[in-house]
Each structure stands twice: as C-alpha cells, then as structure tokens.
Amino acid sequence: MRAESAAEFALICELVRRTARAAPERVALIDGERRLSYREFDRLIDRVAAALQRDGVAPRETIAICAVSSIEYVATFLGALRAGVVVAPLAPSATAKNLADMARDCQARLLFLDATTRGVSSEVDARVPRVALDNEAEGARFRDWLAPVGAAPTGVAVEPDWVFNTIYSSGTTGAPKGIDQSHAMRFGHIRRAREFEYGPHAVTLVSTPLYSNTTLVSLFPTLAMGGALALMRKFEARQFLALAQRVRATHAMLVPVQYQRIMALADFDAFDLGSFQMKFSTSAPFPAELKRDVLARWPGGLIEIYGMTEGGGSCLLAAHRYPDKLHTVGQPAEGHDIRLIDEEGREVGAGEAGEIVGRSGAMMAGYRGQPGKTRETEWRDGAGNRFIRTGDVGRFDEDGFLILIDRRKDMIISGGFNIYPSDIEAALAERPEVAESAVVGAPSAEWGETPVAFVALKDGALLDAEELRAWVNARLGKTQRLSALRLVDALPRNAIGKVLKRELREKVHQTFAT
C-alpha cells in the first residue's frame, strides 16, 4: 500500500476540509430536522480530534463507537481519522459479551455510546472511558467532552498504510473477527466515485448502520466528493421513501431485503423518486427478478457490488446496462483480478466452477491479532501474488460475467454428492406463495448430511409444509430432495440483511441429534 503516490492518495477528512473552504454553507449532514453545513462539520471534526489528543489518544491507537447513526457519530469517526486514530465501529445489536470482546480485541481507548447500547455495555472494561454521543447515555456528555469551540488539533502525517478502521465481521459464519482496513484501501473506493455519479450535487440516503462496511463504501465517497448524507436511525420501507422524496435523494446503498420490502409496498408508485441517479446493493444475494422490478419501477441506475469486507477482488454489475445479465454479479471491477480455484488451490479451467479469490489495491491488512486466520483466508498464485479467498463458489460465463453458485461453507455433502442450497432455494422461489427460503444441512446417519428447508410465506398465503416439500422434491434431483421443510414467520438475519444460516444449522442439529 505504501506504493500509493501523492497524486493517487488523499485523506478523506482533508477532502472534507477542502469542501468546507470552497463551499462552507453547503449541507453536509441531514439528521431529522437538523442540518449541518460543511463549515460546521469541519469545525466539529476539529473539536473531536483535539479532544482525543487532549485525552492522550495517540495516532494509530483505537476508539470504539457503538451507537445508531447520528451527526455526532459521523463527526466522531472523521475526527478520529483527522487525529490519525483508528475507528472500530461496533454493533449496538451485539450481546454484552460480544461487545466486551470486541472492545478488548481492538484495545479501545475510549468507547462512544448512546441510549441504544444501554444494557449491553455493562461487560466492557470499566477502565475504558465512556462518552455519550446523545448526551444521555452513560459517561461524559459529548457536548461537554468536546474540545472548546475554535479548538484545532495538532497536525498528524497519516501514511496510506495506516489502519483507517477495524470492521468486525458479521459473525454469520462464526465469531466476529476484526478486519483492519487501511487509509489506502478506503481511498480506493473514492477513486471510482465519479463513475457512480457522486459529486457536490449528491444526496446519499443512509439507511444501513454505520458499523457495516456496506454503509461506509457509500458514505465516504459522498463526503469526499462534497455531497450530503441524509441519516436514518432505523430503516422502515415507507419512511425511507418519504425521506428520499423530501430530501431529493440521488444515491442509496441498500441490501436486497430492503429492496424487497420497499418494492412490496402497495403505494410504492405514489412516491416521487425521480431525483435518484444511482442505487447500489451488496452484502447478500440479489434475486434477478427483484433487480428486474427495481429497474422497471425505480428511476436511476442500479449497481450490484460483489465483494468482501476483507477486500480482495470485487465484481460490479451495472444492471441498467446489462439487463440480460441479472442472474450474475457482473464483471471484475477495473484493476481487480478475480480467479477461481479448486479444493487443492489450483486454478480451474474455463467454464468450470471454483472458489472465488480476488486481488486488488483494496485489500485488508489482516485480521487484527489473528495472523493464523489471516493466512487461512489468503491464496497465492504462481508468482506469489496475494489474493483473498471469499469462501464463495462461482463460475464465469462466456462473456466474463461471474455467476455465484453458493458459499462453500453452506455446501451440503450428502452420500458423497455436493449439493448447493441455492439450487433448492431457487426451486422453492418458483412457488408464488414463497417469500424467502434458506436450506441447510442436517445430520443423517444414512447420508452424512441431508437438506432441510426453512420457508417464510408471503403475507396472507396459505400452504401446507408437506405439500410444499412434495411439490419441490418433484422438481429436484434425487440427491437434492428435502428431508424436512419448516414454515417460519421470517428467516433470522443480522442488521444488514444477511441470513444467519448458522442459527438455522444449530436448530436442525439440535433436532436431528435428539
């Protein structure tokens, strides 16, 4: 990362300062009825940075933030960056133990909270000072903690390879791991901002939580290019549309389940969304039919981003340009090297399926304090180049578009045959009563594993579980057939919409083991 030249790298907080000087009255942040100009925002960032330096938080040390979206949250994040301090944004939905573990793992010097974390911060080391972003939670009130009005921090010469933030993995496949991302990696997202229509005119509606990398890949390009952020503290489909109409939103990053809920609203077409220029989606599979519906009824372009928080390689699908490729996740982004390997780590032949590995200028430094885990996620080609393993299985079509097949960890091995849950889930989706489904492997004395489905029906739909199981089994290969199907109100998901298959596996293992 140190190879980045001065022309190729800039600090995001300094790009904010540039806008504050060039267009001081331009709106930077919208939070409910509150609006903050770039001049006010830049001064608030300075006060945060100066307060951190006053408290002895040195460059490359870490602070943790565990709160919902707010002006104070964004200013604290940027203020830390201006002081050369690493930010660990943590999930308010975490358990008390997980929150304490993450705060300990990142060695947080301060913990910034709000009322949403009341009750879950109890196990965090009491010696870690608290600051209440909402002026109501435990610890020092934010307005009192800030350095005085007009305070300026001592300048810090931040290097491109310094850690920018530590993002904790969602834990959908196990315990959360701290992913260290560098300033250079973050700036890589800024370099491609113009091709996605970001600029001074942009109004990005932020409805996913700020601890998620999904959110940050649209938040920082907006600020770096001098646009405005409109913050939602909690997503609700109709409120999203109302806010988008009110602020004349031009951009939004949404996960597929959010698109699903928005497009299902009976009065969707009553909202004026004509201001939208570009919409994005990432973090979970995006069904082709849902993409098609978004393209048909929601103005502006639609970009699906396939990649990992760990970085490596990304693929981009400009769905509005390639309506015949909606079943894919697009082509490798410019400068990204995507390859497919078999279980022995050898590259597969053309048209064959394999695990997806990627390499680019945007790659994590590693898992914090876990060099062994870092090595496990790396693959090197014959020239020794470092790639990040995704754990996903896919294949390229004849035009170089990547088709996702499934996650390798989700694959079910039954009687020696590889079964991809996504194939069964796709068959279930053909039934009009089915809203969503997830298939996992259950223990089987006869086959080793056997497929089990969890299915949520659409509102008002009536369907017997055994009837649905018989219907889908008649359409599946012999080895794919479901041994059980359970109807549920909804699939378990984390805060950014990923289905928690680990929880479903735990349920079936408990049932089939008894």
Instruction: Report pLDDT digits (tens) over 154-173.
Output: 999 999 999 999 999 754 44
Low-confidence ranges of the chain (pLDDT < 70): 1-7, 170-176, 416, 512-514
The span from the CA of 80 to the CA of 13, in Å, is 9
**Residue 277: exposed, middle, or buried by beta-carbon count in 10 A (0-12, 13-18, 19+)?**
middle
The span from the CA of 385 to the CA of 393, in Å, is 21
The span from the CA of 263 to the CA of 108, in Å, is 40
The pLDDT value given to residue 94: 83
Residues 438-461: b if buried by 16+ CB within 10 A, e if exposed? bbbbbebeebebbbbbbbbbeeee
DSSP string, 384-450: --EEEEEEEEEEE-TTS-EEEEEEGGG-EEETTEEE-HHHHHHHHHTSTTEEEEEEEEEEETTTEEE
Domains of the chain, start order: 6-234 (3.40.50.12780), 315-407 (2.30.38.10), 411-513 (3.30.300.30)
Residue pair 208/215 in contact (Cβ under 8 Å)? The answer is yes
Summary mean pLDDT of the chain: 91
Helices (H), 111-161: 142-145
The DSSP secondary-structure symbol of 493 reads: B
Compute φ and ψ for 16, nearest 5 degrees. -60, -45
Contact partners, residue 264, CB within 8 Å, separation at least 6: 237
Lookup: tokens for 320? 């509005």
The SS3 of residue 307 is coil
Q: In Å, how far are 141, 451, 498 from 492, measured between CA atoms?
A: 35, 18, 8
Stated pTM of the model: 0.83
CA angle 139, 141, 145 (to 5 degrees): 100
What residue type is 271 in one-letter code? F
User: Which residue is listed with tokens 């850690």?
Assistant: 163
The span from the CA of 404 to the CA of 116, in Å, is 37
Residues 359-382: b if buried by 16+ CB within 10 A, e if exposed? bbbbbbbbbbeeeeebeebebeee
Q: In Å, how far are 56, 211, 372 from 60, measured between CA atoms?
A: 12, 19, 22
Lookup: tokens for 261? 């809920």
The pLDDT value given to residue 177: 85
Lookup: tokens for 123? 């196990």
Handedness of CA 196, 199, 204, 206 (dihedral sign): positive
As a whole-number percent, the residues of the chain with pLDDT over 70 amount to 96
The span from the CA of 50 to the CA of 79, in Å, is 8
The span from the CA of 483 to the CA of 464, in Å, is 15
The span from the CA of 62 to the CA of 280, in Å, is 30
The pLDDT value given to residue 513: 56
Which tens digit of pLDDT belongs to each residue from 350-378?
Answer: 999 999 999 998 888 889 888 998 999 99
Lookup: tokens for 493? 């998901």
In 154-237, the DSSP E strands lie at: 163-168, 178-182, 203-206, 228-231
The span from the CA of 3 to the CA of 215, in Å, is 27
DSSP string, 280-300: EE-SS---HHHHHHHHHHS-S
